[in-house]
């Protein structure tokens, strides 16, 4: 049975090397919709590889096992796991009504590892839908019983 995958491409800007990298942020109406999904970024092409992680890889925050398996399966050496390093939350003021909270809410600022230099921190410069990313020359490689949908 084919599993539907939805998400947004975040274009990450590295503060260390200055290079950009695409990263797929999965989305779903529940946590179950995205559980076990993984994406890897190519360090030589404008490409994202999407696959399902194995049980043993789910607890590995470094992504090294997933990287090794994907590179081996696809006979490649250029795929890197993008780790979330930290999320800076913007706390709402106490005593606000829900309506006031919705008006001022801002998503947390996310900082990732740079897949290209391996040492820098990368932040989202912009986002793109899956079709926008493709129309700009980006590629997706989907491995397994997965189907990408905008």
**Span 20-69, pLDDT tens digits:** 999 999 998 888 889 889 999 999 999 999 999 887 776 677 788 899 99
**Strands in the chain per DSSP E:** 3-14, 20-27, 37-42, 47-52, 79-81, 84-88, 109-113, 121-128, 139-142, 146-148
Is pLDDT larger for residue 90 or for residue 27?
Answer: 27
101 pLDDT band, cuts 50/70/90, is confident
Could you tell me the pTM of the whole model? Answer: 0.86
Distances (CA, A) of 67 to 40, 41, 53, 54, 70: 7, 10, 10, 12, 5
Check residue 2 and give its pLDDT. 92
Q: In the 8-state DSSP scheme, what is residue 7?
A: E
Question: How many angstroms separate the CA atoms of 73 and 61, rounded?
Answer: 21
For the segment 85-97, the average pLDDT, to the nearest whole number, is 80
Name the residue among 40, 89, 46, 35 with its Cα closest to residue 65.
40
| Pick from 2-11, 34-43, 53-62, 137-146: least confident | 53-62
Check residue 89 and give its pLDDT. 79
Distance of CA 148 to the CA centre of its chain: 14
For the segment 1-11, the average pLDDT, to the nearest whole number, is 94
Stated length of the chain: 150
Question: How many angstroms separate the CA atoms of 42 and 147, rounded?
Answer: 20
Check residue 59 and give its pLDDT. 67
Check residue 60 and give its pLDDT. 73
């Amino acid at each position: 049975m084919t599993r539907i995958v939805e998400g947004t491409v975040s274009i990450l800007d590295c503060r260390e090397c200055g290079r950009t990298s695409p990263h797929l942020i999965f989305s779903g109406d529940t946590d179950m919709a995205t559980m076990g999904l993984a994406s890897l970024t190519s360090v030589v092409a404008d490409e994202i590889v999407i696959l399902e992680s194995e049980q043993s890889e789910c607890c590995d925050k470094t992504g090294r096992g997933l990287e090794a398996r994907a590179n081996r399966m696809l006979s490649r050496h250029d795929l890197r796991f993008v780790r979330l390093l930290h999320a800076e939350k913007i706390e709402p003021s106490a005593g606000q009504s829900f309506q006031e909270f919705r008006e001022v809410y801002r998503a947390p600022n996310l900082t990732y590892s740079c897949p290209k230099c391996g040492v820098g921190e990368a932040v989202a410069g912009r986002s793109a839908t899956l079709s926008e990313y493709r129309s700009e020359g980006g590629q997706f490689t989907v491995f397994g019983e997965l189907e990408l949908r905008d």
